[in-house]
Chains A and B, each alone.
Chain A
Amino acid sequence: MSRPPASVLIAAAVAVVGFAGLIRGAMPQAASGGIGGAATDPIVVSGAYVREPASPDVAAAYFTVYNTTGTDDTLTSVATGAGQSASVMTEDVSGGMQELATGLRIPAHSSVTLKPGKGHVMIEHLVGALRPGQYVNLELDFANAGPVNVSAPVIAINAEPPR
């Protein structure tokens, strides 16, 4: 007798699903527009790839890091199962490549893109050959956001990078 009418239950269900949908919908928007919010990942990584290496020893990973928060963050280190070591290399003032002792700063509400000639994650002492179609798992560690996992596809040596 005291059961609520079906319409009330449906309305409640719609409200819950709608709310969840809103939260999910906010994430890609934040990734593209850089709008931070409580329901947004603080760090969003996109366009990750590893070019099939010509060397049996060393490969490079590239990606764009978006900092969706209002506070600067720092990429302090990278770990990967593809090689024994991974280091973040960026262009120094003389045009060479250098590992930053202080990590790679990602300014608030901004993005940093690692691309050939500008920066990369150098993966050394490869465990095995990397071939197109495979994926390289990377754990990017940020000072504020903590670890962020990225799966980077291996692209052919002469392929266009993913957009």
Chain B
Amino acid sequence: MRYVMLLVAVVVLAGCSSGSGKPKPSDLNNQPHAGQYQGFGLVPPLPRPSFSLTDTSGKRFAFSQTAGHPTLLYFGYTHCPDVCPTTMADIAQAVAAQPPAVRTNTRVVFVTTDVKRDTGRVIASWLRHFDTDLPHKFVGLTGTQGQIDAAQAAAHVVLAEDGGQTHAADVLLYGADDYAHVKYLQSDNESDQIAHDLPLVSKEESS
């Protein structure tokens, strides 16, 4: 919890320094450990987690199916008016802004934290608002509460509470090397940050 609050404080600081107009790359984030990335640097990097859930067509989906692909992973819920749809729109915009090779290679996985209301159909209909123009449809996953908790733990995000409505806002970006070196939180710059970092993690040699 303290870690989350620290990150929120950093976001506020980054927001202050960005000033007016189109942010310059160096203004997007001034926190330590970010290195070449515009998001929040993860030191040490987090390995691509192993978990299996159910996709929107009812089939089993192992997250390892995304191995080797730059992958954006986000936990949220569709009855969310504010942060979740804004975050998904930011992700979609960032992917759409990539050169064709990166765009085609990138995967986006959304895992619901509201297993009661978010059925496969509800998630699929929600995701189609964001990914219509992209080469790869976003993957939407659900499961039992235990499976969702295990997936969050495997991804090292704070477990959601209140029927999934209080959840980690982290967007994790795993690279071609199957590690997340960077993550993102909702901000005015989120889309630009992701767009900047995606090509950096798309090559095997990224480390």
Contacts and interface: CB of A to CB of B under 8 A. Distances in A.
Interface of A: 51-60, 89, 94-97, 115-117, 120, 122-124, 157-158
Report the interface size class on chain B.
Answer: 20 to 34
Nearest to A114: B82
Contacts of A60: 81-82
Contacts, number: 68
27 contacts: A51-B85, A52-B129, A53-B85, A54-B78, A54-B88, A54-B126, A54-B129, A54-B130, A55-B79, A55-B80, A55-B81, A55-B126, A58-B79, A58-B80, A60-B81, A60-B82, A94-B1, A95-B4, A95-B8, A95-B169, A96-B162, A115-B188, A116-B82, A117-B169, A120-B82, A123-B81, A157-B129
Contacts of A57: 79
Contacts of A96: 162, 165-166
Nearest to A59: B81
Contacts of A89: 81-82
A115 to B, nearest CB: 8
A116 B83 contact: yes
Given A54-B129, A55-B79, A58-B79, A157 B169 contact: no
B82 A54 contact: no
Contacts of B185: 117
Contacts of A56: 125
A157 B82 contact: no
B86 interface: yes
Contacts of A157: 85, 89, 129-130
Contacts of A58: 79-81
Nearest to A159: B89
Nearest to A93: B5
Contacts of B89: 51, 157-158
Interface string B43-68: 00000000000000000000000000
